[in-house]
């Protein structure tokens, strides 16, 4: 009889792992934020934006996040940071879309949201992406879903609409 103690322990472990992997939100949520470039794009290695990127080039970025108020920015609600790694560049004549892996984390009230996915950057701008949300912390612990990213800058400023679609 003593050798069967592990069955209840295994059941309890399974339930605790299942319960702890559940999202902290209990219903789908959708909200939009305005991302405004803080002009922090840090080249990594020998890529310094003085040439077209090639596979393996990377840069880091940091931006401010604001409430979405139509075309105007509302109150500042957080920031994001991330890393882009090019898998393929634009070509020497900028005739191709570049492919990059983006990993970013949005720091917003209640926690953070982690985004990661591949996107194609149009050399003629503006770009649109849909990336998976792969997790989060705090209120957004273990959240899943997707984010739609749409460049809306006018060429003079870098603004992006971030539309979050969260699933519990």
- Residue 9 is predicted with a pLDDT of 40
The pLDDT tens digits of the residues spanning 72-121 come to 779 999 999 999 999 988 877 777 888 999 999 999 999 999 999 999 98
d(C-alpha 44, C-alpha 52), whole Å: 14
How far is residue 146 from each of residues 1, 28, 82, 97, 166, measured CA to CA in Å? Answer: 49, 11, 16, 22, 7
The pLDDT tens digits of the residues spanning 75-88 come to 999 999 999 999 98
CATH of the domain at 153: 2.40.480.10
Domain count for the chain, please give it: 1
Please check the confidence at residue 17 and state whether its pLDDT lies above 70.
no
Mean pLDDT of the residues in the chain:
82
Please check the confidence at residue 14 and state whether its pLDDT lies above 60.
no
Range of the domain at 148: 2-167
Please check the confidence at residue 19 and state whether its pLDDT lies above 70.
no
């Amino acid at each position: 009889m003593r050798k069967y103690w592990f069955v209840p322990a295994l059941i309890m472990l399974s339930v605790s792992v299942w319960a702890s992997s559940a999202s902290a939100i209990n219903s789908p949520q959708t909200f939009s934020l305005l991302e405004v470039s803080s002009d922090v794009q840090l080249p990594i290695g020998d890529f310094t934006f003085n040439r077209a990127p090639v596979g393996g080039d990377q840069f880091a970025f940091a931006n401010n996040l604001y409430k979405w108020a139509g075309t105007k920015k509302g109150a500042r609600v957080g920031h994001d940071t991330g890393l882009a790694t090019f898998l393929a560049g634009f070509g020497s004549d900028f005739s191709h879309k570049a492919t990059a892996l983006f990993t970013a984390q949005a720091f917003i009230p209640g926690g953070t949201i982690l985004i990661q996915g591949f996107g194609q950057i149009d050399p003629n701008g503006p770009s649109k992406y849909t990336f998976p949300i792969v997790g989060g912390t705090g209120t957004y612990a273990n959240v899943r879903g997707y984010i739609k990213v749409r460049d809306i800058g006018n060429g003079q400023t870098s603004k992006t609409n971030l539309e979050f679609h969260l699933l519990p």
